[in-house]
A and B are shown apart, each in its own frame.
Chain A
């Protein structure tokens, strides 16, 4: 009895505080150290504005979290806001009318002119209406190198992928792994994605991924990509690790010369106390074609049958895109902001490289925006098979074209 009354009293207090500000539950999969710190910045700002951020972090990667989020939305238990990668992941939810239309917020805050690159907003736009608020940019096309490995060998640190491949033999001879690669499926897929634009060049990349030109996809430029991937496959032999950060750790501890990984890897270098430029080197676009794909995260707002909450959702959307939130969040997370008019002078070397590329417009849309999750999963399956076996590059190329043309 006592417990019941206590619980009743407690819930009364909770609902009483709720009456002053609007509670919004926000689900996301940012659970690592730096990520959680970044989310806390958003929560702080939102709470300061008078509303209340109810944190709904889901541990595990996006692959674990997204099914939970989607089943909550489709199952009639929607949260106030939820993270997705902007692109086609939430497309069907929007089409089914489950997501809140943010067009009026976007117009009131002039998102059209503020959000840069504009492809980010395009990815949120369906039939002329805007359904999500982009929060950061992540790009996977980076090659991370250990300077010490090359110093020990008396070689200059490679400045692009070709030099990296040429130096691999010497690295191997020294008993080190040239290319660290985790065994998880998405990592080999990411490496292949990075090689696409680096080896085939921007024009060919655009023809295939944006115009879906299958002749280019089947052509020589992409045959070269598959050949490069086959080379990389040989270089990665011997890195028996699973997670991406274990692979990054091989580079940090100078057991491996390099790793192809997204810009989130620099968080690991930072935690290990390494300095960009002296301890490690980063090459966007693998040093060949310095273009970054502008994938990343965005917040979507499921429709709630509650006018008060809807107002709070719109306030949150406006806040996420605001300059203050952008600076606070992205400095903590090590990702790039979604607008060009904010000052990130505290950023490190590699982050600055990324910012320069952004400012000069060397950007392209991400795979999440261009291909359905279904197609991406099939490519991932193929890549895993290719990287972990001795499959002929020509065969893999043919099957890849097959998957894309059946899209």
Chain B
């Protein structure tokens, strides 16, 4: 009689395994296979069609001596640093404010999370209009009488990243806030009681007790936001298409342009391989911290 529950468990496993097979195959063929294919062809001189004519590191040499690529990397770095710091800082701050047991919390949460429901393309378009000097913020302020007011970041090479950041933060902060809020709600009420008993001020409790306790939440947020930054593409396409000049180019645009418009598959794949590398640089320490850490603990 004891074999019955055993078989039952086995069968349940079998079902789960069968259910997982399509996803396993997809992962292996599409993601792993596609990645390997891309990396291999990054070392070839493929133009429009993939050809296994190896050229060593030529594509990478050309990539790193290309000024547009260098500008892209620089842009991504600045955008990345500011977007990371601001989304997490502002997101956390908003979460803390919402966590003060305020009235209409649901309403505020909905309003703040709403931009995240929009795609980057829509976000980009809306902000392109807002920042357009002829019909956006500048025009409104000038219409109110301050005629010397100038605010056109998207047409000024030095300020175009600021324009992108405004849109990016507007879209992404609400999401970070939600994760943070979930993290804050996960903190045991007893911690707060204990700190109150000890007479520790609220901000100190947040800074020195709650934040260290929320480390996993912060790391997860960091990875999600960082991965999103590296693949930044649609926002730029919708807002500036890389302009003015090359001043808001990002790596993903370089990949697309060289793969499809310039018909240079090898060059595009070399660039995408570099992007893969940077994603791995973000992901590997995270995986190490998350999974390696657990085993030790």
Chain A positions near chain B (C-beta within 8 angstroms): 63, 66-67, 70, 74, 89, 91-93, 96, 183-185, 240, 242, 372-374, 376-378, 381, 384-385, 387-389, 399
Contacts and interface: CB of A to CB of B under 8 A. Distances in A.
B157 A388 contact: yes
Contact of B262 (A74, A240, A374): A374
Given A92-B48, A385-B68, A399-B67, 6 more contacts: A93-B49, A183-B244, A240-B152, A378-B66, A384-B246, A385-B67
B136 interface: no
Interface of B: 47-49, 66-68, 133-134, 152, 155, 157, 241-247, 257-258, 260-264, 267
Given A388-B244, A389-B245, A373 B262 contact: yes
Contacts, number: 73
A93 B47 CA distance: 11
B261 A377 contact: yes
A293 to B, nearest CB: 20
Given A385-B68, A388-B157, A388-B244, A93 B262 contact: no
B153 to A, nearest CB: 13
- Please classify the interface of chain A as helix (H, G, I), strand (E, B), loop, or mixed, using the class held by over half of its residues: helix
A185 B260 contact: no
Nearest to A399: B67
B263 A388 contact: no
Given A92-B47, A377-B258, A183 B243 contact: yes
Given A385-B246, A387-B245, A373 B261 contact: yes
Contact of A240 (B47, B68, B155): B155
A384 B68 CA distance: 10
B73 to A, nearest CB: 15
Nearest to B128: A242
B260 A66 contact: yes
Contacts of B244: 183, 388
A373 B145 CA distance: 50
B255 to A, nearest CB: 12
Q: Which of A89, A185, A387 has its CB near the most chain B CB atoms (within 10 A)?
A: A185
Contact of B245 (A63, A96, A240, A384): A384
State the 10 A-B residue pairs at the shortest beta-carbon distance, nearest first: A388-B245, A377-B262, A67-B260, A92-B48, A374-B264, A373-B263, A374-B262, A381-B68, A388-B244, A385-B246
B157 A96 contact: no
A164 B187 CA distance: 72
25 contacts: A63-B261, A70-B263, A89-B263, A92-B47, A92-B49, A93-B48, A93-B49, A183-B243, A183-B244, A184-B241, A185-B242, A240-B134, A373-B261, A373-B262, A373-B263, A374-B47, A376-B262, A377-B261, A381-B68, A384-B245, A384-B246, A385-B68, A385-B246, A388-B245, A389-B245
